[in-house]
A and B are shown apart, each in its own frame.
Chain A
Amino acid sequence: MSRSQIQALLEKALEGDLRAISRLISIVEFPAEVDPSTIETIMRELMKRGGKAHVIGVTGAPGVGKSTLISKLIAYYRKKLYKVAVIGIDPSSPFTLGSFMGNRVRMQIHSSDPGVFIRSMATRGVRGGLSASTVLVLEALDGLGFDKIIVESVGAGQTDIDIINISHTVLNLVIPGAGDEIQALKAGLMEIGDIYVVNKADKPEAEITLKQVIDVLNYESFIRSSGWRPRAVKVSAVMGMGIDDLATLIEEHVEHLRKSGYFQEVVKKRRIYGSFIVIKHIIESRVEEIFSSSNKHILEMLLRGEIDPYTASLQILSEVLGGRR
């Protein structure tokens, strides 16, 4: 793309033209498809306008109601006239790299609303809950003037915690009947919420689940570096119960971040992370290449069971990285 084409696209996108916004997002979502200078020009323009949006990360296991809750939050924010963008992440197949993305299904009621932009992203070989270019897309949406950007992580397992690196406010969804207080005590996913949302509160066990979560949150170790003490609420996204209380709590949290100076800290942290995740992905995708170019003798010993995987890996690495580990 020529510089003047990029400028024209940026101008139209900043005016709010849907097609231009979408094309711009695609360019930064698939940065390896274009010349590096195209990304540089676009991101420079957008990032100098950005850093203002409130980023809300929504995570939790598959089927806990993330998309349904987001749809209700969009409705709430639209009544307040906020412009809302959603990045919905779904898994790519490890076999075909294809993806079936159904996050939109629960949010389609907002698809005709000019104040809402929804983009589905597949994980594309990245673990941790996000895609390699999530931060780039996030920065672009921020620069385009969206007030609330909601990132829906992939249906998360206990170690899919990358959402914490990019969000101002992390909503961690849990549901009644999926484990006792032992599950609530575990490390990883259960540690990263700013607000724990017990969804499907129309179920009778919800009260017990809420109590178990609150018990765990009462440890000093759960207080965030910003000084925020995580809270827990009960909602039923499908019934629309508890949404106003949750939205009020979300505002309380972001106000706390703004007052304590942590709002800008999160923006800085996510920009660092946005670079980190790209490097990590590129290096990871080279591992196979490194492996196949390594000493066949070591691999054969490994196959025959004459060397253990740890010792073999150190030998391969020392060869490939020239003595450095």
Chain B
Amino acid sequence: METREEVQILGAIGLRRRYRVLVAKLGLDGHDRGAKIVARALKDAGFEVIYTGIKQTPEMVVRSAIQEDVDVIGISILSGAHMALVPEVLRLLKEYKADDIPVVVGGIIPWDDAIKLKSMGVSEVFFPDTPLSHIIEKIKELAEKRRKGLE
């Protein structure tokens, strides 16, 4: 249905949705340089980034992601607590019936743990040497997929 009125609204970007991503620092971890760089790169790639800051609990991350209706949750974790905290994020997403929102994790994650996290349901794991362009591309793919699923 392509009426004349609708075509005219197409240019009105203020009424249209862009991909939205939550970027959160999970757990007792103040190393936020990486999260800020990724958040900024996403902004420059045209995403709306909601940044939560440091010291987030799994509950804070999940409830924020739902309130903001984001398309992807990006978790940065460099403390080594990823195997304790990330599964809790996945569990809470199920509990809130919000497990259609994909989760990506970045940080100092040993290879074996990355495989385990992916088997638990984490969509992507990014490492210190992952290029920003790859991170953006993967997050865009996941966001697109999630939007399509909602339609």
Contact = CB atoms under 8 A, between A and B. Distances in A.
- Size category of the B interface is 35 or more
Interface in B1-32: 1, 8-18
B34 to A, nearest CB: 15
Given A32-B10, A98-B47, A99-B48, A111 B97 contact: no
Q: Tell me what chain A mostly uses at the interface: helix, strand, loop, or mixed.
A: mixed
B69 interface: yes
Interface string A74-108: 00000000000000000011001111111011001
Contacts of B63: 18, 111-112
A111 B64 contact: yes
A41 B147 CA distance: 22
Contacts of B45: 96, 98
Interface residues of A, number: 45
Interface string A96-134: 111111101100100110000111101111100001110
B83 interface: no
A65 to B, nearest CB: 16
B9 A117 contact: no
A258 interface: no
B67 A99 contact: no
Interface in A281-325: 281-282, 285-286, 288-289
A98 B48 contact: yes
A92 B66 CA distance: 21
A253 to B, nearest CB: 28
B16 A33 contact: yes
B151 to A, nearest CB: 10
Given A19-B66, A112-B57, A119-B67, A93 B13 contact: no
A163 to B, nearest CB: 16
Contact of A97 (B18, B53, B56, B98): B18
Instruction: Give 8 closest A-B pairs by Cβ, nearest first.
Output: A132-B14, A105-B53, A32-B15, A30-B17, A98-B43, A124-B14, A285-B11, A26-B69
27 contacts: A18-B63, A19-B97, A19-B98, A22-B67, A26-B69, A29-B17, A32-B9, A32-B15, A93-B46, A96-B43, A97-B18, A98-B49, A99-B49, A100-B51, A105-B53, A108-B52, A108-B53, A112-B60, A118-B64, A120-B50, A122-B48, A123-B14, A125-B14, A126-B14, A132-B12, A133-B15, A282-B11
Given A98-B48, A111-B63, 18 more contacts: A18-B66, A22-B69, A26-B17, A30-B15, A93-B43, A93-B44, A96-B44, A96-B46, A98-B42, A100-B43, A101-B48, A104-B52, A108-B53, A108-B56, A108-B64, A281-B14, A286-B11, A289-B11
Interface of A: 18-19, 22-23, 25-26, 29-33, 35, 92-93, 96-102, 104-105, 108, 111-112, 117-120, 122-126, 131-133, 278, 281-282, 285-286, 288-289
